[in-house]
């Protein structure tokens, strides 16, 4: 019987969590039969179970609510505010009784006759009969709830134990991978490890999802709360909820429930005005409260936005000075953002009167401390007269994310892979470093981005020069691109991430802490925090408009190579000077085209080496790592399995006897490795499609369909930029079908003739003479050079 009662309590709690919002939404849309049926099923289920468990008081309440809802289903009664308020009151009492059953305590004192009588009230019955009656309606806009999937109930303690075990398995897998890389290769062992790794990854994903819960379980009670508060305060509020499908750890949901509730109560009490005040201010009488959630990297962002009167920063400063929180001198130097941050000071409130809801100056400081305790941040932005936005940034309590490990000296750190755009060598041929106004700037293939050195940001000792470091180009969610200079990069790994201590999170640099495969602790960086602490202030458009003037190449006496393992498992090395970056692409981005494998990297399509077309399945849902090689003019992709290390060639290279992609063999790290011949790779894959450093420009008639549809692709494939007649750019070639066309002052005129007999083969070419056309295009380019 105890087990049956426990199941009954758990089922009631699950249904009660979603029912408050359903009833309010049903009031706003009385014709929604699905919601009415959902509410009816709940009270019907409670009534049936109460008869079995001998809870007569609970049965009487649910029976009364069932009768009233049955009248609505039959069309005998309209779902007016009185009925909705009566049902809400009974649902609240049922919730109290269920809680008492769970705690093995006595039911709430008193009888329930007033609730049942109020539910039976019709027409103009006095509102006093309804304990939870609303004096003003709250318009509610919520998404309809989809049918719940089949579920079973498990204790949270059991899930915690399983998750802890999976986390240990991931760390053990990482350590085993490191040891296999250090040990002599064995194909059979490597294959077994890959299968084991795949099984662990699938188990990790499945177990992680068991702890995750849709955040709509947190949002579902908000419509009811907004309805009750607006009724109590004589206001009208429209609440808009989005992002309920975002998933968050179930314990995190419970931890942010109270802070979110307090912020919403403040928004309705302090922020949104009464209907009369709103009309005087030129607003519509119904206020808008928007609550949304979204995932950004390793954080969940919850925005609470209202269109009320906003927060007056000047009044906050005056109150802070009056309470002795600030001196007048300090107050005068506060920025607008710092003024708004005073709302989190203890005992500071600008409310004109203390209410039962808020205004005592306690709460927002508690909200901030509670959120920061779990590694989160509270941000506020407000415009007087227009409204306020509160943003909760909370981390996932326990998650396993892909990350790149880097180091400064002997200190190791991790960077979320989702924020990494590319990895380049600081002394690469397409990279240069400068100092402008005391700040570092890296020029990467013509694009200038801010550059900060991790050693300088953290105040750590480093024995490497700027030119010897590696640049990790980061783009935080919603932020600007910047380059982070690190001493060394290691491998990509999946790391178990947990919130760090409040003092560590308070620095603004870190998103959490994790463990390396050997059990040593590693801090996970927050890319946005790195940018802020490092002083990155450039806007994306300003950076994008800057063009590199020169390219600087740093000479190095030692031959530095990147040691890696190919897709066939062979150890190979390639000179760092030709490696621009490492990228990861989906298999579908690699396809046969124009006789060879090609890979799409962003907006570029590059030839791809290192992968046999016979071994590639473009429909396979997997990722492949690719080196992006650059010879100064052309780019080439090279597929590989994993990076082993950055090394230096210290032994003699034994030249290969056959010309091909392998230039020779040498000892690197005490083991043989093949040294790739970059010259052969480029000659084999891109030697015939060299692109001039400055593209040629060709003018074609814009209104000539044949020129645009038939000729333009050939011209562009030859390396030209095509412009129209209205473009006043300097052109190298003008192609026209007009026999009387005039040649440009600079450049060449090429006339195309529809009649092969009228073409002379020089200045006039038959338009389907493809060979003659290609020769003319090449000649025009050679003439400019």
pLDDT of the residue at 717? 76
For the cut 80, the answer to whether the pLDDT of residue 210 exceeds it is: no
Cα–Cα distance between 491 and 173 in angstroms, integer? 14
**Of 145-149, 378-382, 641-645, which has the strongest mean pLDDT?**
378-382
pLDDT of the residue at 549? 30
> In which band, very low, low, confident or very high, does the pLDDT at 305 lie, cut at 50, 70 and 90?
very high
Average pLDDT over residues 104-132: 60
* pLDDT tens digits, 661-711: 888 898 887 788 999 988 888 888 875 444 445 678 888 888 887 888 778
Average pLDDT over residues 37-57: 72
Task: Name the more confident of 328 and 266.
Answer: 266
For the cut 50, the answer to whether the pLDDT of residue 146 exceeds it is: no
Percent of the chain with pLDDT over 70: 80
The number of CA neighbours under 13 Å toward the Cβ of 319 is 20
Token pair of 701, please? 């008639």
pLDDT of the residue at 748? 82
- Unique residue bearing structure tokens 């084991």: 196
Task: Name the more confident of 593 and 784.
Answer: 593
What pTM value is reported for the model? 0.43
| Of 262-271, 371-380, 732-741, the least confident | 371-380
pLDDT of the residue at 595? 75
The rounded mean pLDDT for the chain is 76
pLDDT of the residue at 575? 84
For the cut 70, the answer to whether the pLDDT of residue 67 exceeds it is: yes
pLDDT of the residue at 136? 31
For the cut 90, the answer to whether the pLDDT of residue 198 exceeds it is: no
Q: Please, is 558 exposed, middle or buried when counting C-beta atoms within 10 Å of its C-beta (0-12, 13-18, 19+)? A: exposed
pLDDT of the residue at 347? 61
pLDDT of the residue at 518? 64
Cα–Cα distance between 607 and 599 in angstroms, integer? 6
For the cut 90, the answer to whether the pLDDT of residue 166 exceeds it is: no
* pLDDT tens digits, 1-24: 566 677 777 777 777 766 656 777
Provide the 8-state DSSP code for 760: -
Average pLDDT over residues 240-255: 80
> In which band, very low, low, confident or very high, does the pLDDT at 354 lie, cut at 50, 70 and 90?
very low
> In which band, very low, low, confident or very high, does the pLDDT at 306 lie, cut at 50, 70 and 90?
very high
Cα–Cα distance between 7 and 154 in angstroms, integer? 11
| 3 state SS of 188 | helix
> In which band, very low, low, confident or very high, does the pLDDT at 551 lie, cut at 50, 70 and 90?
very low
Cα–Cα distance between 388 and 311 in angstroms, integer? 7
pLDDT of the residue at 135? 32
pLDDT of the residue at 572? 92
> In which band, very low, low, confident or very high, does the pLDDT at 164 lie, cut at 50, 70 and 90?
confident
* pLDDT tens digits, 122-139: 544 433 333 333 333 333
- Unique residue bearing structure tokens 């077994």: 192
Token pair of 220, please? 């579902």
Provide the 8-state DSSP code for 475: -
Beta-sheet strand order (sheet of 635-640): 579-586, 623-630, 635-640, 604-609, 596-601, 590-593
Element spanning 51, H or E: helix 33-53
Average pLDDT over residues 647-656: 80
* pLDDT tens digits, 402-446: 788 888 888 889 888 777 888 888 877 778 887 765 678 888 877
Token pair of 18, please? 């979603």
pLDDT of the residue at 356? 46
For the cut 90, the answer to whether the pLDDT of residue 638 exceeds it is: yes
Average pLDDT over residues 569-581: 84
Give Rg (Cα) of the chain.
34
């Amino acid at each position: 019987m105890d087990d049956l009662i426990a199941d009954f309590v758990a089922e009631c709690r699950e249904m009660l969590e979603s029912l408050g919002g359903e009833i309010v939404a049903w009031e706003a849309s009385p014709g929604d039969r699905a919601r009415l049926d959902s509410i009816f099923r709940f009270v019907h289920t409670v009534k049936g179970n109460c008869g079995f468990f001998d809870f007569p008081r609970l049965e009487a309440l649910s029976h009364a609510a069932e009768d009233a809802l049955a009248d609505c289903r039959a069309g005998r009664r309209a779902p007016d505010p009185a009925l909705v308020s009566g049902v809400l009151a009974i649902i609240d009492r049922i919730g109290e009784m269920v809680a008492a059953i769970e705690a093995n305590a006595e039911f709430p004192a008193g009888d329930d006759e007033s609730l049942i009588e109020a539910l039976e009230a019709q027409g103009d019955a006095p509102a006093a009969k309804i304990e939870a009656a609303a004096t003003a309606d709250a318009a509610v806009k919520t998404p309809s709830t989809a049918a719940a999937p089949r579920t079973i109930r498990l204790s949270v303690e059991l899930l915690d134990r399983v998750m802890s075990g999976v986390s240990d398995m991931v760390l053990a897998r990482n350590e085993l991978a490191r040891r296999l890389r250090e040990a002599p290769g064995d194909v059979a062992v490597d294959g077994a490890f890959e299968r084991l790794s795949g099984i662990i990854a699938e188990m990790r994903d499945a177990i992680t999802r068991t702890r995750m819960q849709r955040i709509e379980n947190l949002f579902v009670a908000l419509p009811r709360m907004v309805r009750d508060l607006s009724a109590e305060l004589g206001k009208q509020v429209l609440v808009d909820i989005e992002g309920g499908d975002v998933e968050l750890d179930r314990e995190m949901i419970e931890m942010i429930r109270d802070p979110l509730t307090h912020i919403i109560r403040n928004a309705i009490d302090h922020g949104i005005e009464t209907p009369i005040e709103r009309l005087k201010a030129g607003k519509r009488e119904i206020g808008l409260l928007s609550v949304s959630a979204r995932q950004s990297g390793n954080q969940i962002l919850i925005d609470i936005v209202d269109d009320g009167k906003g927060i007056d920063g000047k009044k906050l400063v005056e109150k802070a000075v009056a309470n002795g929180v600030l001196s007048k001198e300090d107050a005068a130097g506060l920025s607008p953002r710092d003024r708004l941050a005073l709302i989190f000071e203890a005992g500071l409130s600008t409310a004109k009167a203390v209410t039962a809801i808020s205004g005592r100056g306690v709460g927002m400081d508690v909200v901030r401390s509670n959120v920061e305790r779990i590694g989160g941040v509270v941000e506020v932005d407000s415009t007087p007269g227009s409204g306020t936005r509160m943003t909760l940034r909370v981390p996932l309590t326990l998650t396993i994310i892909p990350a790149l490990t880097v180091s400064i000296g002997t200190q190791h750190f991790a960077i979320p892979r989702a924020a990494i755009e590319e990895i380049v060598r600081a002394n690469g041929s397409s990279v240069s470093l400068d100092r402008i106004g005391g700040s570092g700037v890296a020029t990467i293939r013509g694009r200038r981005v801010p550059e900060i050195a991790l050693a300088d940001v953290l105040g750590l000792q480093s024995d490497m020069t700027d030119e010897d470091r590696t640049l990790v180009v980061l783009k935080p969610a919603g932020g600007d691109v910047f380059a982070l200079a690190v001493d060394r990069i290691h491998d990509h790994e999946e790391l178990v991430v947990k919130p760090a201590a409040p003092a560590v999170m308070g620095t603004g640099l870190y998103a959490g802490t994790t463990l390396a495969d050997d059990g040593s602790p590693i801090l996970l960086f927050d890319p946005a925090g790195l940018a802020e602490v490092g002083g990155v202030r450039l806007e994306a458009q300003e950076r994008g408009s800057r063009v590199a003037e020169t390219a600087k190449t740093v000479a190095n006496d030692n031959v530095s190579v990147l040691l890696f393992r190919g897709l066939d498992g062979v150890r190979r090395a390639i000179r760092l000077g030709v490696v621009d970056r490492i990228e990861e692409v989906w298999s579908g981005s690699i396809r046969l085209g124009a006789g060879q494998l090609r890979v799409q990297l962003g907006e570029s399509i590059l030839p791809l080496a290192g992968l046999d077309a016979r071994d590639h399945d473009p429909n396979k849902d997997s990722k492949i790592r690719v080196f992006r090689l650059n010879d100064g003019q052309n780019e080439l992709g090279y597929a590989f399995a994993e990076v082993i290390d950055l090394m230096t060639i210290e032994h003699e290279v034994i030249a290969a006897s056959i010309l091909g992609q392998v230039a020779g063999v040498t000892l690197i790290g005490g083991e043989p490795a093949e040294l790739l011949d970059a010259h052969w790779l480029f000659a084999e894959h891109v030697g015939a499609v060299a692109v001039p450093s400055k593209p040629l420009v060709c003018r074609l008639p814009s209104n000539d369909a044949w020129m645009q549809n038939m000729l333009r692709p050939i011209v562009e494939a030859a390396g030209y930029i095509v412009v129209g007649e209205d473009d006043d750019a300097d052109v190298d070639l003008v192609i026209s079908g007009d026999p009387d066309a005039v040649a440009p002052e600079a450049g060449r005129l090429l006339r195309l003739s529809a009649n092969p007999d009228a073409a002379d083969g020089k200045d006039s070419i038959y338009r389907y003479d493809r060979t003659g056309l290609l020769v003319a295009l090449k000649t025009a380019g050679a003439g400019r050079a």
